[in-house]
Structure 1
Amino acid sequence: MNSRFLIMMLLFICACKEIPSEKGEIKIYFCPEDNCEQAIINTINNDSEVLCAFYDLNLKNLTSSLKKARAEVLIFKENFEGYGIPINSKGLMHNKFCIINAEKIITGSFNPTFNGNYLNNNNLLIIKSKNLAKNYLAEIKELRKGMQKKTSEKNILLNDKLVENYFCPEDNCKKEVLKKLRYAKKSVYFMTFSFTDKEIAKLLVEKNQKINIVGIMERKRTNMKYNVFHYLNNSGVEVMQDNNPGTMHHKAFIIDEEIVITGSYNPTKNGNEKNDENILIIHDSNIAKIYLEEFYKIKNY
């Protein structure tokens, strides 16, 4: 099922409610080759209205820029170091996002830390979209109040390309990942820091009988309890350990070279049911090509 057909199907189903559509821009950075900290600093200026939710933060220059912008920064309480507002969570407040002037979002797998910027493999997206910004602003309000509410506008059209947006646990990110994987017709490439969800793993084993499935997983976690690395390998799926001496921290699926799933969500039980997380599902072959290049770069380390 290609992206165009999915868009047409959604338009048909939602005929009673038009999918929000707008022109915008998606910029993608891959740390450590790209300086993700500087990309965020360049997006922030002293006149910006900046709101962020970070699992962790210890980059001095970025912290200084956030202070100058008088940003509101929510930080997971266990990583709070004196700057920002400590936030409780049922599990982890694992987000890594910002909203700039209610018209841009910053998201991805990137924790703004020294390791995150200089050692670990991460992806960072800076997206100009007022519709996505509304969703992330709503999530900020929920995090402040310690509440959860399903996302009201899960589907938007950005430059005529479908973008889906979900927040865990309220939107059941796992269900949306499974849905996209079930529709895969040609290939699935994935890069995962932590992968323990057996249902997703079983679906990949099943799909591997008919299509090309290839994965890269963080080496230091492959022998941990519940990790599915050995299950996938023993079941015939081509999956390998990464060779980055730091950490391969991506959480991304590339489906049929047309769809990218990315964000803060690791395919784990806690990632879906306990942690505060966010994902984007981007139906754009050009974006998929960029992520596939990152996949092969890491594969060939």
Structure 2
Amino acid sequence: MAALIWGLAGCGLFQKSWWQTQFTNPAQQTNPIVADLVTNINSSQSSIHVAAFEFNLDSIAEALIAAKKRGVDVKWVTDDEYGLAEDKDPGHGQFAQLKRAGIPVKADNRPDLMHNKFIIFDNQIVWTGSTNLTINGTQRNNNNAILLNSPELAVIFEREFAEMWAGQFGPSSPSTVDLQQVTVNGTPVQVLFAPEDKVSSKLLPLINNAKSSIRFMAFSFTHEQLGAAMLSRAKAGVDVQGIFETNGSETQYSELPKFYCAGMPVRQDSNPSAFHHKVIVIDNNTVITGSYNFSNNADRRNDENVVILNNSEIAKDYLSEFNTRWAESRQPAKTRMKCR
């Protein structure tokens, strides 16, 4: 893991390494992700813009309110149903706290989901991944997060945030996909937003061009074209392995039975809460992560974000997480697969 060293540098944050990965540890119910986010919030000097699906973390709310009091521009975009509506439920109320402190919160107000998970600090640092800002997301579910120090990437995410803040959600929101590729310290990075960027059409060539290996961790994998591409690469001799979230993989739409019946090494997770990753690693080098489940809803209807990073060191971290979860996962029950 690349260590981050944070501090104040005139008008923003700095770090000795430009990226950091983090993974939840449900067995210990620890939340290093939250501790680091609080540190980053406390260090921010100009702006914190949050696009997050749901929320019930007191420490994050308290840190954001303190940031607002010292003059930081704090804004939050969330989902109307799973964000604002659930704020009235027991154990919630954090959005109400933000609003009382003068922090504006906006929701998508549409049937589909504002499912993004990203934060931009001081127009310089982007935090994203699969992690919802909840007790479940940070302590009980298997999740990942990545912190990226790049003003160029921050510009991309700020543009998307501004669109949502102006009320542009879903398929009608504008795509700026041609402006969403940068190179950071020698690492090519592409950012995609669903549904406007037609994410699956960008992921399919990456999968189809896999030469040696594909590893995936999936909360929901129901997208037939992505599944067919992985199955095709496996038949061509590429080493394809994946872990499915158990409950999600036992629906009639899951790609798990196809993979299992074709002899592909696939497993189901053993977390009694949820296996919430949305990760693909290709050829030990290309990492795909973000809020985007491998589903038609994510691709065509929900607001989602994806980052694609070509960096073998970052890939090592995600492969280490894969190997850890693979070791504790289990073979699917043959009787449920109904192979012909």
TM-score (norm 2): 0.79
- Report how many aligned residue pairs link the two structures: 279
CA drift of 1:171 comes to 0.7
Question: Are 1:190 and 1:254, in contact at CA under 8 Å, matched by a contact in 2?
Answer: yes
Question: Are 1:24 and 1:159, in contact at CA under 8 Å, matched by a contact in 2?
Answer: no
Query: Over residues 175-227 of structure 1, what are the superposed CA-to-partner deviations in whole Å (9 max), with x where a residue is unaligned?
Result: 11111101100000000000100111111111101110000010111111311
| 1:134 equivalent in structure 2 | 155
- For structure 2, the 5+ residue unaligned runs are 1-15, 69-73, 88-95, 99-104, 329-340
Aligned: 1:29 with 2:55: no
Aligned: 1:254 with 2:281: yes
Give the 3-state SS of the residue equivalent to 1:245 in structure 2: coil
How is 1:1-301 mapped onto 2 (pairs within 5 angstroms)? Answer: 25-32=18-25, 35-45=32-42, 47-70=45-68, 71-78=74-81, 79-80=83-84, 81=87, 82=96, 83=98, 84-89=105-110, 91-147=112-168, 148-151=173-176, 152-209=178-235, 210-301=237-328
Question: Are 1:162 and 1:282, in contact at CA under 8 Å, matched by a contact in 2?
Answer: yes
Query: Over residues 210-259 of structure 1, what are the superposed CA-to-partner deviations in whole Å (9 max), with x where a residue is unaligned?
Result: 11000001011111131111121112221110111221101000000010
Write the distance in 2 (CA, Å) between the matches of 1:44 and 1:200.
37
| 2:11 equivalent in structure 1 | none
**Quick one: percent identity of the two aligned structures?**
32
Give the 3-state SS of the residue equivalent to 2:289 in structure 1: strand
Write the distance in 1 (CA, Å) between the matches of 2:194 and 2:182.
18
Give the 3-state SS of the residue equivalent to 2:163 in structure 1: helix
CA drift of 1:52 comes to 0.4
- For structure 1, the 5+ residue unaligned runs are 1-22
Write the distance in 2 (CA, Å) between the matches of 1:27 and 1:57.
23
Query: Over residues 97-149 of structure 1, what are the superposed CA-to-partner deviations in whole Å (9 max), with x where a residue is unaligned?
Result: 11100011110000010001111111111111111111111111111223212
Question: Are 2:45 and 2:122, in contact at CA under 8 Å, matched by a contact in 1?
Answer: no
Q: Identify the range of structure 1 (268-277 vs 233-242) with the bigger mean alpha-carbon deviation.
A: 233-242
Give the letter for the 1:122 counterpart: N
Question: Are 2:49 and 2:121, in contact at CA under 8 Å, matched by a contact in 1?
Answer: yes
Write the distance in 2 (CA, Å) between the matches of 1:89 and 1:280.
25
Write the distance in 2 (CA, Å) between the matches of 1:228 and 1:59.
34
Question: Are 2:245 and 2:268, in contact at CA under 8 Å, matched by a contact in 1?
Answer: yes
Give the letter for the 2:212 counterpart: K
- Structure showing greater radius of gyration is 2
Give the 3-state SS of the residue equivalent to 1:162 in structure 2: strand
Question: Are 1:208 and 1:237, in contact at CA under 8 Å, matched by a contact in 2?
Answer: yes
Write the distance in 2 (CA, Å) between the matches of 1:63 and 1:96.
16
Write the distance in 2 (CA, Å) between the matches of 1:143 and 1:88.
11
Question: Are 1:24 and 1:129, in contact at CA under 8 Å, matched by a contact in 2?
Answer: no
